[in-house]
Copies of this chain bind each other. A is one copy, B any other.
Amino acid sequence: MNKLKVFSLAFVILVSLSRVANAEAVLLASDDFVGITFWLIAMGLLAATAFFFIERSSVPSAWKTSVTVAGLITGIAFINYMYMRGVWVQTGDTPTVYRYVDWLITVPLQMIEFYLILVAAGLAISSKIFWKLLIGTLIMLLGGYAGEIGWVTPGLGFVVGMAGGIYIIFEIFRGESSIIATKNESIKSAFGALRLIVVVGWSIYPIGYIFGLLTPMIGL
């Protein structure tokens, strides 16, 4: 199980970084550092993708699908980061559309990851959990997107998006899946780690949103 810890660790670091980076891209003004951040994360994501796809052959077979999905998440994120970086270098703009396209693919895959970890541990789990997490995610992302591109006011988009995000956090901390996860010691810690990424990593998203979109509105 040692390998699984390394794997979880790498996963936690990379996904967190990926969230932070998006936020920084909004917060930071200095050109250079946004670009470097994109490049550093892209390289890290590529390394993680290669790591997951190659090491997959060495993990116990119940965990193989989780590792494949982890590789898909980092791989898709890698491609989108390369595009974001390209747009950044050419236009000096953080491309909202690529960020959300990235999230629309990778965030649901993270929810599948939660689900697969419970399944891999042999825990009885209803597929309802998967659908709850997926729908919460879509509300969070579509709410935020509608606010960012001006379909609804930034304030309304923020409220809708946050509702989805808070629902997911409730589900994984107090909901059905969190109760199931406590039945198994080793899963409890893996589940706890993933939970931490979501809270820490995603808490940066609303902060970036507030500073980038809401603050300018109230004249700050």
Contacts and interface: CB of A to CB of B under 8 A. Distances in A.
Interface residues of A, number: 36
A44 interface: yes
A195 to B, nearest CB: 21
Copies of this chain present: 5
A57 B50 CA distance: 15
Given A2-B119, A36-B97, A101-B36, A55 B43 contact: no
B54 A101 contact: no
Nearest to A7: B65
Interface string A63-105: 0110011011001100110000000000000000100010011
Contact of A105 (B40, B71, B79, B80): B40
A46 B76 contact: yes
A11 B46 CA distance: 21
Interface string A152-185: 0000000000000000000000000000000000
